[in-house]
Amino acid sequence: MNVDIVPELDLIGQAESPRALWRPLRRYFRSKGFEGLAYFIASPQARGAIRGFTVIHRGFPRAVTRRYIDEGWGARDLGPAYAIAQGVPVRWSDGTRALEGDDEHAAFRDAMHAVGLGDGYNLPVYGPRGRNGTIAVGNPVSEEALDKAPLDEMHLIAQAAHMRLCQLLPDLSLPGPSLSARELEILEWVARGKSNGVIAEILDLSAATVDTYLRRIFGKLDVSDRTSAAVRGVGMGLIAA
């Protein structure tokens, strides 16, 4: 093992909150030449095709984020599910070739290429009770960063971060928190990356009302931020893609 990554593993293991976890993770992948980081969590109760939510999407060009998150094209991205099934890091371009012939993924590929999404990697991660997902890295500083990426090391870091997140946000004991239909609806839009203002427009509510609902959701799920709420909501099966 490359002993240089031991400090990063220590920082991940010592993180006391999800927010504290993302900082060393982004710093590590940036040191390997990847500015973009995305975190996909699969719906654990899904049957057949793996579906889920991308709850972190940082360091990508604004046009890419707008298309992937705001316009909902990320829902057509079959790359995370493919990587989870393979069990090894998958370069996006390799995954696209493997999925050749799938019309949904072809439409996604064309839409994302049109706004400048380049190549990257999906690193599959696995956790307790089906809490699986991928950590994706992209927006590389050079082609060399892609070609010479230390994939085994990167995969180890990604898996360590995912397991630490599972420890920080364990599933709450059944029967679990009782969220109202409106709270579940808002939580799902949060998991899809929508801001309070956008959620307010979609649901024809005031931004203040959405904020009030969100604070109730945080309290019931025992979290303090949007990403943690989404992770716990998906992990507990409260919302599904």
Q: Could you state, in order of their start, the residue ranges of all structural domains in the chain?
A: 7-168, 181-236
- In angstroms, rounded to a whole number, what is the distance separating the alpha carbons of residues 165 and 18? 6
CATH fold for domain 181-236: Arc Repressor Mutant, subunit A (1.10.10)
Q: Could you say which of 3.20.20.140, 3.30.450.80, 3.40.50.1010, 3.40.630.10 is the CATH number of the domain covering 7-168? A: 3.30.450.80
Amino acid at 177: P
Contact between 49 and 82 (Cβ < 8 Å): no
> Which of 92, 89, 120 shows the shortest CA–CA distance to 105?
92
pLDDT tens digits, residue range 17-26? Answer: 988 999 999 9
Q: What is the mean pLDDT of each run of 10 residues along the chain (241 residues)?
A: 72 91 94 97 69 89 93 92 96 94 90 96 94 96 97 97 92 66 92 90 94 93 90 83 62
pLDDT tens digits, residue range 164-198? Answer: 999 998 876 545 568 899 999 999 999 988 889 99
Q: What is the model's pLDDT at position 2? A: 59
DSSP H/E element including 90: strand 90-91
